[in-house]
């Protein structure tokens, strides 16, 4: 099995603050989710979209799958995305995260590759910026899929952090020092949660 073939875009969520479904966000006259997918294609052979509105992706060239457990939050989407992925490690982002850092993705691949070589790989690879854990733009092992599903069925807490803490999954964090050293772009962690966020992002794009 390839180590880094697959990426997953989570397109679920209620989008209550945006007041419309964020998987239909349009930026520069293109669906944002497809712009994200195109960026990910530079690094991954397979891009999977997790959406409970599969009918809206009839002519989509990407694999589209739906949650097996409904109304369980992003963990449910991660579980099914990992299930259908074709690589040992899977890069996961959300459909409202417009920015990608190519150098960061390749750095993580190299970091994980070294850990695999020396038999010290972790279950999850994320970033911790200013003491804040960034749960997306990170790699998760494919074999976490069943554990996540079991946790959601049996547990009461549905957060990603509660899953890996309670299930004793090992996590490696990219640190502030690494971000500063390699000049990675922290704006990859921006979410477009509100119409104001979208307006401000479009203004930035216009001046690039």
Residues 127-152 pLDDT 10s:
999 999 999 999 999 999 999 999 99
> Could you report the per-residue pLDDT of 31-68, keeping only the tens digit for each?
999 999 999 999 999 999 999 999 999 889 999 999 99
Q: Compute φ and ψ for 108, nearest 5 degrees.
A: -65, -40
How would you class 12 by CB atoms within 10 Å of its CB: exposed for 0-12, middle for 13-18, buried for 19 or more? Answer: buried
Q: Is 157 helix (H, G, I), strand (E, B) or coil?
A: coil
- Asked if pLDDT for residue 170 goes beyond 80, the answer is yes
Name which residue leads in pLDDT, 202 or 138. 138
Alpha-carbon distances of 59 from 29, 40, 64, 160, rounded to whole Å: 18, 19, 11, 32
Domains assigned to the chain: 6-206 (3.90.550.10)
Q: State the Cα–Cα distance between residues 81 and 64, nearest whole angstrom.
A: 9
What's the sign of the alpha-carbon dihedral 17, 203, 178, 110?
positive
Q: 44, 5 in Cβ contact below 8 A?
A: yes
Please report the pLDDT score of residue 96 as a whole number.
95
DSSP β-bridge partners for residue 87: 2
Q: State the Cα–Cα distance between residues 147 and 149, nearest whole angstrom.
A: 5
Q: State the Cα–Cα distance between residues 113 and 144, nearest whole angstrom.
A: 18
Q: Which of 92, 51, 73 is nearest to 151 (CA)?
A: 73
Q: Residue 191's pLDDT band (boundaries 50, 70, 90)?
A: very high
CB under 8 Å to 78, separation ≥6 — which residues?
Answer: 8, 10, 50, 92, 140, 144, 145, 148, 160
Q: Is 94 helix (H, G, I), strand (E, B) or coil?
A: strand
């Amino acid at each position: 099995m390839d180590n880094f073939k697959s990426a997953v875009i989570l397109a679920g969520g209620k989008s209550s603050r945006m007041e419309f479904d964020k998987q239909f966000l349009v930026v520069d006259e293109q669906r944002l989710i497809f712009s994200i997918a195109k960026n990910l294609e530079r690094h991954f052979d397979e891009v999977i979209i997790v959406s409970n509105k599969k009918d809206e992706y009839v002519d989509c060239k990407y694999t589209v799958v739906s949650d097996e457990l409904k109304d369980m939050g992003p963990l449910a989407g991660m579980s099914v995305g990992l299930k259908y992925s074709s690589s040992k490690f899977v890069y996961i982002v959300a459909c409202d995260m417009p920015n990608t850092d190519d150098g960061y993705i390749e750095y993580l691949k190299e970091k994980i590759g070294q850990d695999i070589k020396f038999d010290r790989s972790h279950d999850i690879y994320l970033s911790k910026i200013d003491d804040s854990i960034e749960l997306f733009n990170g790699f998760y092992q494919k074999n976490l899929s069943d554990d996540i599903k079991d946790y959601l069925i049996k547990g009461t807490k549905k957060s990603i952090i509660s899953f890996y803490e309670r299930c004793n999954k090992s996590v490696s964090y990219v640190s502030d020092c690494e971000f500063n050293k390699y000049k990675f772009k922290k704006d990859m962690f921006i979410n477009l949660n509100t119409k104001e966020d979208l307006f401000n992002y479009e203004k930035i794009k216009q001046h690039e």
